């Protein structure tokens, strides 16, 4: 009887161990991922009745992550986006001026995530800090001589319009759902993204991210 109980206990322990091992798809795993994203439209208001109406747009990012435990993960993320916008300003004669352009951004972030559950399917929360380079697309009137590789014409040199650009501190908060497979994972999340642009009504953007990654 004692032997039987011992055998049953041993078998149960093995199955529990296998189950825990099978479910732990994250701990000490390195990740590479791609992030298609949707950026919602918004309006930024500035002094002297100036404002910028940003259309909705799309972006793409990629990055690397490391899972220290089932719950804690660190990431480094690189991303870029382009968005059409209309800028409205009022000159000294109280005349309204409109500019239609395309804004380009590129960013680098350091992010930390907390997976709330130990299971393959889990909600998570995250936060990040970084820098964002913004190109307004509006020319300064100056020209710069540049050389670049064109896929059709080869190495090309010539004058190019300089544009108004800035590099600003950015940060954000994220909440979403994650599902792990043995060698891959995916997540869908909502992000509140902030760039220090100096708008009077806040510098926040609403972003939806779809992440597709592999683990090794």
pLDDT tens readout for residues 55-81: 999 999 999 999 999 999 999 999 999
CATH code: domain of residue 48: 2.40.160.20
**134 within domain boundaries:** yes
**17 within domain boundaries:** no
**58 within domain boundaries:** yes
Helix (H, G, I), strand (E, B) or coil at 23: helix
**5 within domain boundaries:** no
**137 within domain boundaries:** yes
Give yes or no for a contact between 87 and 45, defined as CB atoms under 8 angstroms apart: no
**190 within domain boundaries:** yes
Mean pLDDT value across residues 108-136: 96
Task: Determine the Cα–Cα distance for residues 179 and 185; give it in Å rounded to an integer.
Answer: 6
Least confident of 78-92, 133-147, 195-209: 133-147
Q: Which of 42, 23, 21 is nearest to 86 (CA)?
A: 42
pLDDT score for 86: 92
Q: How many domains does the chain have?
A: 1
**20 within domain boundaries:** no
Full residue range of the structural domain in which residue 150 is found:
27-215
**82 within domain boundaries:** yes
Q: What is the tens place of the pLDDT at every residue in 9-25? A: 544 443 344 344 446 78
Q: What is the tens place of the pLDDT at every residue in 140-168? A: 766 666 676 665 667 777 666 778 889 99
Task: Determine the Cα–Cα distance for residues 207 and 197; give it in Å rounded to an integer.
Answer: 17
Mean pLDDT value across residues 180-208: 92
pLDDT-based confidence at residue 186 (cuts at 50, 70, 90): very high
């Amino acid at each position: 009887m004692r032997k039987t109980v011992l055998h049953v206990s041993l078998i149960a322990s093995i199955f529990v161990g296998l189950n825990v091992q099978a479910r732990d798809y994250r701990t000490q795993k390195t990740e590479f991922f791609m992030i298609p994203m949707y950026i919602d439209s918004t309006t930024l208001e500035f002094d002297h009745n100036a404002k910028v109406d940003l259309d909705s747009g799309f972006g793409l990012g990629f990055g690397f992550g490391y899972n220290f435990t089932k719950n804690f993960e660190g990431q480094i993320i690189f991303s870029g986006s382009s968005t059409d916008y209309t800028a409205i300003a009022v000159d000294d004669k109280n005349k309204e001026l409109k500019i239609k352009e395309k804004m380009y951004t590129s960013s680098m972030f350091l992010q930390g995530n907390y997976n709330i559950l130990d299971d393959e399917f889990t909600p998570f929360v995250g936060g990040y800090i970084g820098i964002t380079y913004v190109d307004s697309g509006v020319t300064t009137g100056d020209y710069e001589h540049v050389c670049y590789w064109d896929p059709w014409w080869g190495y090309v040199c010539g004058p190019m319009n300089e544009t108004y650009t800035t590099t600003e501190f950015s940060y954000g908060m994220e909440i979403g759902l994650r599902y792990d497979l043995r060698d891959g994972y995916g997540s869908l999340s909502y992000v509140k993204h902030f760039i220090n642009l100096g708008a009077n009504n806040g510098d926040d953007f609403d972003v939806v991210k779809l992440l597709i990654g592999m683990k090794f």
